[in-house]
Amino acid sequence: MIFIWRGAGGLAILIPIAACLIMNFGTAKAFNETTYFQENLWPKVAALWLTAIVSWFVGRYLNTRPARTLIDRNTGQEVSERLVHDFIFIRLEYWGLIFAAIGLGLILFRQFS
């Protein structure tokens, strides 16, 4: 499988991995049970919502930074360069909304199943 990202868009993969590891480690220590994360729904949803919050704010910060202005030596023209941070052509901040929706979907699916 090929993953396509520009700029820091690869964080859309790294942030959820880090959130799940943190939540897994935290619940294992707090509840003194190594399989607590795997057996319960709320730590997974909390990890997804933590991912959503971090992705949203990091994406907004990175994608709203001002463009860099460069001057061409040969022509003297100004060129603006703005780096886009996206993963699979979806901006990093919108991945935050996707992760939040997945977390909500997990809750609703569990509720109605």
Domain boundaries, the chain: 8-112
What CA–CA distance (Å, rounded) separates 89 from 71? Answer: 29
For the chain, what is the mean pLDDT?
A: 92
Whether 40 has a pLDDT exceeding 70, the answer reads yes
Predicted pLDDT of residue 2 = 75
Whether 88 has a pLDDT exceeding 70, the answer reads yes
Averaged pLDDT, 68-85 = 86
Predicted pLDDT of residue 1 = 64
CB count in 10 Å sphere of residue 107: 14
**Predicted structure pTM score:** 0.86
Single-letter amino acid, residue 73: R
Confidence of residue 50 (pLDDT cuts 50, 70, 90): very high
